[in-house]
Amino acid sequence: MSKRYQILFLIIFIGLGSILCSSLTYATSTSEVSAWVDWSTFQVTVNGSLPTYNGQSSSSNANAGYTDIGVGADPQWASGWGSLTSLVTIPNVTGNGFTTPDLLQADGSAIADGITSTYARATANAYRIGYFYVESDSWLIASATFNLEQIFSYDPSFETVGGYNEYRIGLYRVNPSTGISEKIDENLDKFFHYGFQGSGNMNGTWTETDELLGISYFLDGGYTYGVDVSIYSDANCGTTALAPVPEPATMLLIVSGLIGLAGYGRKKFFKKGINI
C-alpha cells in the first residue's frame, strides 16, 4: 500500500475513532440518594413519659444490580440498637445501610455508562424498633427529624435517572396469643420523597430536612407495643447509549479522506486508460 493510501486510511480511522470516543463520553449518568435520622431527634412518650424498653433491635440491608445481574447483602441484625453495617458493591452500583446508637442511615448510588450497562439500581434500608409494655390506657406521641439528599449527574439529552427515599414511623402491638407484632394502622406511617423521574434537567444536589411531629395514637392497656423508624433509599439510572452528533471537525476528517481516496483512485484508473 502506498504512503498516500496509508495517510488517507489514517484520516478515516481517526475520524471514526473520534465518533466512537465521543459516544462513549456522553453516555454516562450517575444518581445517588441518602436518607438518615439523628437518633437524638427520635422521641417517643407514653402519657408524657419516656417508655421503658424491654426489647430493642436494629437491622440494615443493601442490594445492587445492573442489567440482569443483581446481588444483595444479607440483613444485618443487632440487639440493643448496636452498630452494624450492610454494604454491597459491584461494578457501577453500591448499596449501604447502617445503624449506630446515634444514627440510622441508608445510601444508594448507581452509574450507567451505556457500555457495560444500560441500567443500574442500588437500594439500601435501615430499621430500628423498640418494645415496651403499656399497663393502662395511654396516649403515645412520636416524632423524628429526617434528612434527605439526592444527587444527579447526567446528560438530560440522552439519560434517564431516578431515585426516592421512603421513611416512616411504625406502630405495632404484640399479639399475646401468637407473640407476633401486628401493625396497628397501615395508613399511619408511610411518607415518600421522590426524586427526578422522566424528562427534564435535575442535575445537582437536592436536600431537605423533614420533621414528623406529634404522631399520636391511643393505646389500650395490657399489651406490649413496638414503635419503629425505618428508611428505604433507592437510586437508579439508565442510558439510551445514543451516539451524539459528530463534531464538524470529525466529519471534515472523514469527508477529506473519502474525497482523497476517490480522487486518487480516479487518477490511477485514468493512467491505465480506463475512463470512469
Is the pLDDT score of 223 beyond 90?
yes
Is the pLDDT score of 207 beyond 80?
yes
How do residues 59-88 score in pLDDT, each as one tens digit? 999 999 876 567 899 899 999 888 999 999
How do residues 125-137 score in pLDDT, each as one tens digit? 999 999 999 999 9
Backbone phi and psi for residue 198, each to the nearest 5 degrees, phi listed first? 95, -145
**Residue 151 confidence class, pLDDT cut points 50, 70, 90:** confident
pLDDT of residue 159: 75
Is the pLDDT score of 100 beyond 80?
yes
Collapsed DSSP state (helix, strand, coil) of residue 274: coil
Which residue did the predictor score with more confidence, 275 or 132?
A: 132
Cα distance between residue 241 and residue 159, in whole Å: 8
171: amino acid identity, one letter = L
How is the chain split into domains, by residue range? Answer: 3-21+247-271, 28-239
Backbone phi and psi for residue 271, each to the nearest 5 degrees, phi listed first? -65, -30
**Residue 190 confidence class, pLDDT cut points 50, 70, 90:** low
Cα distance between residue 223 and residue 219, in whole Å: 8
pTM of the model: 0.74
* Nearest residue to 142 (alpha-carbon basis) of 71, 217, 43, 63: 43
Cα distance between residue 189 and residue 32, in whole Å: 24
Average pLDDT of the chain? 78
Cβ contact 42:117 at 8 Å = no
pLDDT of residue 152: 84
**Residue 260 confidence class, pLDDT cut points 50, 70, 90:** very low
pLDDT of residue 191: 63
Q: Mean of the pLDDT values across residues 110-128?
A: 87
How do residues 42-55 score in pLDDT, each as one tens digit? 999 999 999 999 99
Is the pLDDT score of 247 beyond 80?
no
Beta strands in 6-158 (DSSP E): 29-38, 43-46, 53-66, 69-79, 84-90, 93-100, 103-112, 119-134, 138-154
* Cβ-based neighbour number of residue 217 at 10 Å: 15
Which residue did the predictor score with more confidence, 102 or 23?
A: 102
Percent with pLDDT over 70 in the chain: 69
Which residue did the predictor score with more confidence, 125 or 119?
A: 125
